[in-house]
Amino acid sequence: MKKNRAVLTLVLTAVLTGLLLYTAAVGWGEEKSGAAKNIRLGLDLAGGVSITYEAVGEGTPSAEDMSDTIYKLQKRVEAYSTEAEVYQEGADRINIEIPGVTDANSILAELGKPGSLQFQTMDGSVVLEGTDVANAQAGSRTDELTGEREYAVELTLTEEGSIKFAAATAANVGKQIAIVYDDEVISAPMVNEAIGSGQAQISGDFTFEEADQLASTIRIGTLSLELQELRSNVVGAKLGEEAIATSLTAGAIGFLIVLLFMIAAYRLMGLAAGVALISYVGLVLGLLNGFDMTLTLPGIAGIILSIGMAVDANVIIFARIREELATGKTVRSSMKIGFQKALSAIVDGNITTLIAALVLALKGSGSVKGFAQTLALGIVVSMFTALVVTRLVMYALYALGLQDVKLYGVAKETKTVNFLGKKKICFLVSLVLIAGGLLLMGVNAGAKKGALEYSLEFQGGTSTTVEFPEDMSIGDIDAKVVPVVAEITGDNDIQTQKVSGTTQVIIKTKELDLAGREALNAKLAETFGVDETTITAENISGAISKEVKNDAIVAVIIATICMLIYIWVRFKDVRFAASAVAALVHDVLVVLAFYAVARVSVGNTFIACMLTIVGYSINATIVIFDRIRENLTEMKRKDTLEDVVNASITQTLTRSIYTSLTTFVMVAVLFVLGVASIKEFALPLMVGIVCGAYSSVCITGALWYLMRTRIEKKEV
Q: CATH 3.30.70.100: which residues of the chain? A: 461-540
Which pLDDT band, with edges at 50, 70 and 90, does 675 fall under?
Answer: low
What would the pLDDT profile of 84-124 be if each residue is shown by its tens digit? 778 887 788 888 878 766 665 666 555 555 667 889 998 88
Q: Can you list the alpha helix ranges (DSSP code H) found in 174-296? A: 208-220, 240-290
Segment 577-625, tens digit of pLDDT = 899 888 888 988 999 899 888 888 777 677 777 877 877 788 788 889 9
Cα separation of the two ends of the chain: 62
* pLDDT at position 173 over 50: yes
What is the pLDDT, as a whole number, of residue 716?
39
Mean pLDDT of 62-91: 77
Distance CA 71, CA 392 (A): 49
9/39 Cα distance (integer angstroms) = 30
What angle, 0 to 180 degrees and rounded to 10, lies between the N-to-C axes of helices 240-290 and 653-673? 130
Cβ partners under 8 Å of residue 534, min gap 6: 466, 467
Cβ contact 390:648 at 8 Å:
no
Percent of the chain with pLDDT over 70: 87
Beta-carbon contacts of residue 194 (< 8 Å; ≥ 6 apart): 166, 169, 170, 173
Residues carrying CATH 3.30.1360.200, the chain: 115-222
Does residue 272 have a pLDDT over 90? yes
Number of helical H runs and strand E runs in the chain: 23, 17
Instruction: Tell me how far apart the 2 most distant CA atoms of the chain are, in Å.
Output: 90
**Nearest alpha carbon to residue 626 among 340, 413, 423:** 340
pLDDT at position 2 over 60: yes
Confidence class for position 183, pLDDT limits 50, 70, 90: confident
Report whether pLDDT(715) > 50.
Answer: no
CATH code: domain 461-540 is 3.30.70.100
Q: Is the predicted pLDDT of residue 481 greater than 60, yes or no?
A: yes
Q: Decide: 218 and 190 in contact? Cβ < 8 Å.
A: no
Q: What DSSP string runs through 244-266? A: HHHHHHHHHHHHHHHHHHHHHHH
Residue 10 predicted with pLDDT over 70: yes
Among 596, 613, 593, 605, smallest CA distance to 696 is for: 613
**Strands, sheet with 199-206, edge to edge from the N-terminal-most edge strand:** 133-142, 149-157, 199-206
The pLDDT of residue 65 is 81
pLDDT digits (tens, 9 = 90+) for 408-441: 988 887 888 999 999 999 999 999 999 999 999 8
- CB burial of residue 106 (10 Å; 0-12, 13-18, 19+): exposed
Q: What is the pLDDT of residue 392?
A: 93
**Model pLDDT for residues 289-341, shown as the tens digit of each residue:** 777 777 776 677 667 767 777 888 888 899 899 989 999 999 999 999 999 99
What sections of 291-409 are H helices per DSSP?
A: 297-326, 331-363, 367-384, 390-399
CATH class in words for 115-222: alpha beta
Query: Bigger pLDDT: 292 or 699?
Result: 699
3-state secondary structure 595-612: HHHHCCCECHHHHHHHHH
Nearest-CA neighbor of 86 among 96, 75, 76, 78?
96
| Upper half-sphere CA count for residue 240 (Cβ side, 13 Å) | 25
Q: What is each CA distance from 199 to 127, 137, 155, 160, 174, in whole angstroms? A: 16, 11, 6, 13, 18
C-alpha closest to that of 663 among 210, 235, 290, 307:
307
Mean pLDDT score, 676-702: 85
**For residue 182, pLDDT beyond 70:** yes
Q: How many CB atoms lie within 10 A of CB 389?
A: 23
The 8 Å CB, 24+ separation contacts for 361-365 are 362/555, 363/551, 363/554, 363/555, 363/558, 364/551, 364/552, 364/555, 365/74, 365/75, 365/78, 365/547, 365/548, 365/551, 365/552
Residue 246 contacts residue 239 (beta carbons within 8 Å): no
**Per-range mean pLDDT, top range of 28-42, 93-107, 227-241, 520-534:** 520-534
Torsion of CA 600, 682, 355, 372, to 10 degrees: 90
Summary mean pLDDT of the chain: 82
Q: Which pTM was predicted?
A: 0.71
Give pLDDT, residue 365: 63
